[in-house]
Amino acid sequence: MNNEEIIAQLPYSKPFLFVDEIVHINENGVEGTYTFDENLDFYKGHFKEMPVTPGVILTEVMAQIGLVCLGVFLFDNSFNKTASIALTSTEIEFLKPVFPKEKVTVISEKIYFRFGKLKCKVIMKNAKGEEVCMGTIAGMIV
């Protein structure tokens, strides 16, 4: 399965698809990118005078690239429309703000994948290479 096919398998669509590109993927991890469109609805009220990407959205970007894309890759051709993905835990530390129009890179390293549960160490970096958030994310693929 190539990178475009993996993105096509994701159970999301615009405006809630937060994966632009998979840069690299293998059985141990994934690296991908996303650029925040300044017209996304949540910027209208978070915050009024200086829009900042909400932490829950940063977590979602990390989960979509760092967990779900990797899970689709690991399941290979057995991942299909009957598969469900459920987030089971997150522990994220937010270090820097992310603003509209910023491109971020998510780098995920598999901690374990067994019995349908995938847990990863995930880091998000801005275009300057600075870590903006990091932590662990786990989910079940059933």
Write out the catalytic residue numbers.
Answer: 46
Nearest CA to 60 out of 133, 142, 140, 141 is that of: 133
The residue count for the chain? 142
- Cβ count near 28 (within 10 Å): 11
Nearest CA to 95 out of 125, 138, 65 is that of: 125
- Cβ count near 86 (within 10 Å): 11
How far is residue 137's CA from residue 29's CA, in Å, rounded to a whole number?
Answer: 13
| Bridge pairing between strands 21-26 and 29-35 | antiparallel
Residue with tokens 């996304």, as numbered in its chain: 40
